[in-house]
Amino acid sequence: MEFPSNLKKIAKLSDSFSEEIENFIVRQEVAKGKFLFEQGKICRHIFFIDKGLFRVYYYANSGKDIAAWFSAEQTYITAIDSFYHHKPTNDFCEALEDSIVYTIKYSDFELLLDMEDGARLAFHVMYEITKKMTEFITSTKFQSAESRYNALIKDYPSILQRAPLGYIASYLGITQETLSRIRAGK
């Protein structure tokens, strides 16, 4: 199982805890077009993406859907505010291709906090999620569209083959025409 081996590596978990955590983790296959979480519902899980690509998006006041970010293999994703406060999320998380994720539900995540290795694990998972959100905020406030495009290509080299250009343009906060100009300049 990929999820525990990844955790063991990043959080320096003991062998016994790595085996124990398998009791908390559920493998889930997610078909293209299905959602990990949806607007108006409470997100009760953290997901580790073993295989696949997801986009998190929301609807602007204009009714247009806005891509907030992408998550692919070896990353964690959740609707953090919903997960933590048990309130409905404003976001959607859609599979852009057939995917495999490993999930842990909130109540099991809380149990992990009572164990030394579990607390270390929880810290690392939350750090990775928070880091991704912080990078997104920083990039939208301080980087040009071209810089955001270059960072996206660096983080997800195959994104142009895996996600529709309209979603990529939305993520970058630009039109598809502007995205085409940026790509032509490469």
pLDDT of 105: 94
Same-domain status, 31 and 115 = yes
CATH for 32: 2.60.120.10
Higher pLDDT, 33 or 18: 33
C-alpha to C-alpha distance for 107 and 95, rounded to whole angstroms: 25
Same-domain status, 172 and 118 = no
138 domain-assigned: no
Tokens standing for residue 141? 């406030």
Residue 86: Cβ-neighbour burial (10 angstroms; 0-12, 13-18, 19+): exposed
Same-domain status, 86 and 121 = yes
Give the domain-ending residue among 131, 162, 178.
Answer: 131
Question: Collapsing DSSP states into helix, strand and coil, what is residue 57?
Answer: strand
C-alpha to C-alpha distance for 163 and 115, rounded to whole angstroms: 39
Q: What's the start-to-end Cα distance of the chain, in Å?
A: 39
Same-domain status, 63 and 100 = yes
136 domain-assigned: no
Tokens standing for residue 26? 């559920």
Strands ordered across the beta sheet of 75-77: 26-30, 99-105, 45-51, 75-77
Give the chain's domain count: 2
User: Around Cβ 78, how many Cβ atoms within 10 Å?
Assistant: 25
Same-domain status, 89 and 176 = no
Full domain range(s) for residue 50: 2-131
pLDDT digits (tens, 9 = 90+) for 86-143: 999 999 999 999 999 999 999 998 888 888 888 888 888 888 888 888 887 887 778 8
Q: What is the pTM of this model?
A: 0.86
pLDDT digits (tens, 9 = 90+) for 5-28: 666 666 677 777 777 788 888 999
185 domain-assigned: yes
137 domain-assigned: no
Tokens standing for residue 131? 């880091």
Residue 51: left if φ>0, alpha if ψ -120 to 50, beta else—which one? beta
